Structure 1
Amino acid sequence: MKSFRIIIADDEPTIRLILKELLIKEGYEVEEAANGEEAILALRNAPFNLAILDYRMPKMDGMEALRQIKKIDPSVAVVMITAHGNTDVAMEAIREGAYDYFPKPFDNKEIVFVVKRVKERQELLKKIERLESQLRHEHKRFDKIVGASSKMQEVFALIRKVATNDVTVLICGESGTGKELVASAIHYQSYRRKKPFIKVSCVAIPETLLESEMFGHEKGSFTGAYQLKPGKFEMAQEGTLFLDEIGDMPLSLQPKLLRVIQERELERVGGTKTIKVDIRLIAATGKDLAECVKNQTFREDLYFRLNVIPIYLPPLRERRDDIPLILEHFIIYYNQKLGKQITSWDQDFMKAVMDYSWPGNVRELENIIQRAIILSSGDKLTVDLLPPNIHTEPAMPDLAAIADDFSVPMPERIQAISDKLEEQMIRHALKKANFRRQETADILGISRKSLHNKMEKYNLFDKDNLVDEKE
């Protein structure tokens, strides 16, 4: 436990000795000063919790020392020793910020009581400060999700509302935005939090195994089914089932999923027994399911069943104000995990991470921060610790600056803004498609020839612009 440190300033050695021995016996750490100047010097060189000052001292009296202490560190409590009956001085000291006073000759029990009261008060103030700090930061995070931007505050508010209502939730957002974290937060804020939270990736499990994984199978129902196996729905009984990447679920399985959602019952593969299920369903997707319905790759009736409460997670590029907060969160986490002591970052580092487009969103930012912390040799993150593509990527255009340039005719400004936005959209799409041009054209909803012409227009074939000739 951190010691409570006291400095005693009095020009009488006997008084200092009496007080020091008395307070050391009470378990306090005590230092001495012969006058106000010595006390101030000691306070500048080391932290103290309490200063006991005699009013009359050479070089600097107690009153001036009190004023100086409050300038140096207002949290240091001050107790003034005054001459017997000198209440005017005592009242002046209180007005200047002293916690208390006692006259000479002083009573030892009174001194012990006052110091104990100062210690308890400071401990209470620190506790209040910690609680206030938690309250100030509470709105900036929800479970493990970090964000103070208005968009994330809307997400947090929606999580709180839906968590206590047992409705189906569809979480939409790009890869790396934190869809699973949102699903987990909803579950652990709900009345089902003491029951299982089961996750299924509809894209990670082969189509031939997905039905068995989700609904279970009976012994001997197919080659290799040597024993009965409950599915994820049964494993999530009374809890929450999280279906990730629901947009990639095969069409052949969607009717069976729809029936379970509607009827709250299922049969295992190869079985005839109907099993009742009591679960809360949360699904997530990085696809536009409404578009998938139009393209006939996703059932419309299933989409409506899933889309009861949609939650949209914005990409990191749409909430750049959250980047410093997320950065701080990961630094604290990886400092503890990796045994590092990173305390800050330089301006170039921050500029690079703020300017970068983050196609991989928060997941990419976390990986980059982890990498930088591992490679760091000091206590500060510097721009050279970032991968070259991050600190060399052209910054996002300042569209407001273009719009405010009234020296340029309005039609030209509108065209310039349109061009800048188009260029950035193509850059983001290229990265998302890993520079495969046909896939990029599909994402943008344009022809491959049109994409080629636009890449030439914005010089995106240049290696310095990080776009290669991959097919």
Structure 2
Amino acid sequence: MERARLLVVDDEPHQAQQIGQLLRDVEVTAVTSGVEAVEVAAGAGDRAFDVVLLDYYMPEMGGEEVLRALRQRGVDARVIVMSGRQPGEVAVEAMRLGAFDFISKPLNRAELRLRVERALRDHRAAARARPPADGTQRRPRKSDVIIGGGTWIKDLYERISMVAPTDVTVAIFGESGTGKELVARTIHALSQRYESPFVVVNCAAIPENLLEDELFGHVKGAFTDATKDREGLFAAAHTGTLFLDEIGEMPLSLQVKLLRVLQSQEFRRIGDDRDTKVDVRLITATNRDLEQAVAAGVFRQDLYYRINVFPLHLPPLRERAEDIPLLAHHFLLKHRAKVAKRVEGFTPEAMAKLCAYDFPGNVRELENTVHHALVMAQSEYIAPEDVRVTPSRAPARSGIDLSRPFRDLKREVVARFERAYTEEVLAAHQGNIAAAARTAGMDRKNLWALVKKYGIDVDAYRAGKG
């Protein structure tokens, strides 16, 4: 394949030299003025550039003017804007003018390589003009960019750069709405599997009795409604990436089967008498504390160790409030065409109202809030009355974590009670299942089910060690 061509536009010559050293596998052309950049990019002909790295603050012709001129001259390269000053404001304006991405100075090798790689793949995929075969296989979208500034985003890109080229299992932790699927898509898009399927499974959205069939499939006759063979999502993700969202909700019975796939790279469809080999990279995500789930007996410890090879932790939006203006403008540009309004931005008062809110639903809640504000807006700028947020509530006195769903909390409480009660009643009867079941007022089979569910060693109680 022909080497990628990168145009670096920066009035400081040493910056181009640094970028050339960081990106040795890319053909780098450097210019030191905006005027020269427009002429070189527009006159490249058959040697057109794939990506332009553009410094925003330059004398004479600045980044804003260069972006406008490149668009007017029909330059098709993906433009990544660079700036060391006012990164939030610059990124907002750059996106509005059609930039593909933004990176803050000083440049970080890992972040630079990943952002250039994304832009390059997007440009080449568009040039091929090949529509995706289905909803799971597609080129990276511009909306897949991880939006943020400061050190946390550079640290995240550093870790993504380490793990993306490998087939290592990744576990993404973070509250609901923090962008776990977006990070998973980024890892896939920057891996060697990027042209293969990226398949998403939300373990919490599929009923427990259907999840096994969804994951592994079945053969004809496996059950009453199985009128034909059906491939599961593991088979659909073959040679690609399977993203298991909310893996903490997966029932224990399926956790065993998932563990086997991770260990042997093979699975068995429901009703089948032979195993199927599969080549899949697994990425998981959860908003739960899996260590607590392991302690409560609702998540297998061996599976936890298998999936937690390379953990990534995403901060909640309240811990990176400085990103709210950048994210808000990103969502404004993303959704304004849907409401058929030419809304240009936010009034200072409206932005202040957004920044003063904690957003317990994180980035997803912010996106919905901006979308709603666009619908309500009556002028070119979103006003405070268009922003529907309420003051953040004080923490609950009970100490209950209200950021987590009711079902999650209830499940953990019930699991802790079941395990503690089972251990107590067995200890009281020295491991005698029949006597313990009578005291508990339950059938022996049900008590045995609890013993197996939580891996309790009955013999230890019989030996007087409980």
TM-score by length of 1: 0.57
The one of 119, 132, 138 aligned to 2:102: 138
Equivalence map 1:34-433=2 (5 Å) = 134-136=81-83, 137-139=101-103, 143-387=144-388, 390-393=389-392, 423-424=394-395, 431-432=402-403
The whole-number CA distance in structure 2 between the counterparts of 1:75 and 1:279 is 49
Equivalence map 1:3-18=2 (5 Å) = none
CA RMSD of aligned residues (A): 3.3
The whole-number CA distance in structure 2 between the counterparts of 1:353 and 1:429 is 26
**Number of aligned residue pairs:** 295
Q: SS at 2:242's partner residue? A: strand
Q: Is the 8 A contact 1:217 1:268 kept in 2?
A: yes
| Partner deviation per Cα, 1:157-205 (whole Å, 9 max, x = no partner) | 2222211111100011010011111111111111101111111111111
Q: Sort the Cα spacing of 1:426 and 1:180 in 2 relative to 1 into closer, same or farther, 3 A.
A: farther
Specify the code of the residue in structure 1 equivalent to 2:173. Answer: C
Q: SS at 1:259's partner residue? A: helix
- Deviation at residue 424 of structure 1 after TM alignment: 4.4
Q: Is the 8 A contact 2:80 2:103 kept in 1?
A: no
Q: SS at 1:432's partner residue? A: coil
The whole-number CA distance in structure 2 between the counterparts of 1:201 and 1:435 is 18
Q: Sort the Cα spacing of 1:428 and 1:161 in 2 relative to 1 into closer, same or farther, 3 A.
A: farther
Specify the code of the residue in structure 2 equivalent to 1:366. Answer: E
| Partner deviation per Cα, 1:56-106 (whole Å, 9 max, x = no partner) | xxxxxxxxxxxxxxxxx9559xxxxxxxxxxxxxxxxxxxxxxxxxxxxxx
Specify the code of the residue in structure 1 equivalent to 2:166. Answer: N
The whole-number CA distance in structure 1 between the counterparts of 2:404 and 2:246 is 17
- Deviation at residue 381 of structure 1 after TM alignment: 1.0
**Correspondence for 1:414:** none
The whole-number CA distance in structure 2 between the counterparts of 1:251 and 1:433 is 21
Q: Sort the Cα spacing of 1:431 and 1:343 in 2 relative to 1 into closer, same or farther, 3 A.
A: farther
- Deviation at residue 433 of structure 1 after TM alignment: 5.7
The whole-number CA distance in structure 1 between the counterparts of 2:288 and 2:251 is 14
The whole-number CA distance in structure 2 between the counterparts of 1:382 and 1:294 is 48
Specify the code of the residue in structure 2 equivalent to 1:267. Answer: R
Q: SS at 1:200's partner residue? A: strand
Q: Is the 8 A contact 1:164 1:191 kept in 2?
A: yes
Structure 2 residue runs without a partner (length 5+):
1-58, 84-100, 105-110, 116-143, 417-466
Stretches of 4+ aligned residues off by more than 6 angstroms: 124-128
| Partner deviation per Cα, 1:212-257 (whole Å, 9 max, x = no partner) | 1111111111121111111111111000011010000000111111
The whole-number CA distance in structure 2 between the counterparts of 1:244 and 1:132 is 32
The whole-number CA distance in structure 1 between the counterparts of 2:404 and 2:236 is 36
- Deviation at residue 132 of structure 1 after TM alignment: 7.3
The whole-number CA distance in structure 2 between the counterparts of 1:235 and 1:290 is 30
**Correspondence for 2:443:** none
The whole-number CA distance in structure 2 between the counterparts of 1:126 and 1:159 is 35
Q: Sort the Cα spacing of 1:169 and 1:316 in 2 relative to 1 into closer, same or farther, 3 A.
A: same
Specify the code of the residue in structure 2 equivalent to 1:351. Answer: A
Q: SS at 1:359's partner residue? A: coil
The whole-number CA distance in structure 2 between the counterparts of 1:191 and 1:163 is 8
**Correspondence for 1:14:** none
The whole-number CA distance in structure 2 between the counterparts of 1:427 and 1:194 is 49
The whole-number CA distance in structure 1 between the counterparts of 2:259 and 2:336 is 46
| Partner deviation per Cα, 1:324-345 (whole Å, 9 max, x = no partner) | 1101111111123333222222
Specify the code of the residue in structure 2 equivalent to 1:379. Answer: E
Q: Which has the larger radius of gyration?
A: 1
Q: SS at 1:282's partner residue? A: strand
- Deviation at residue 274 of structure 1 after TM alignment: 1.3
Q: Is the 8 A contact 1:139 1:153 kept in 2?
A: no
Q: Is the 8 A contact 2:81 2:103 kept in 1?
A: no
The whole-number CA distance in structure 1 between the counterparts of 2:254 and 2:147 is 35
Specify the code of the residue in structure 2 equivalent to 1:138. Answer: F
Q: Is the 8 A contact 1:383 1:391 kept in 2?
A: no
Q: Sort the Cα spacing of 1:280 and 1:426 in 2 relative to 1 into closer, same or farther, 3 A.
A: farther
Q: Sort the Cα spacing of 1:220 and 1:282 in 2 relative to 1 into closer, same or farther, 3 A.
A: same
- Deviation at residue 382 of structure 1 after TM alignment: 1.1
The whole-number CA distance in structure 1 between the counterparts of 2:291 and 2:350 is 40
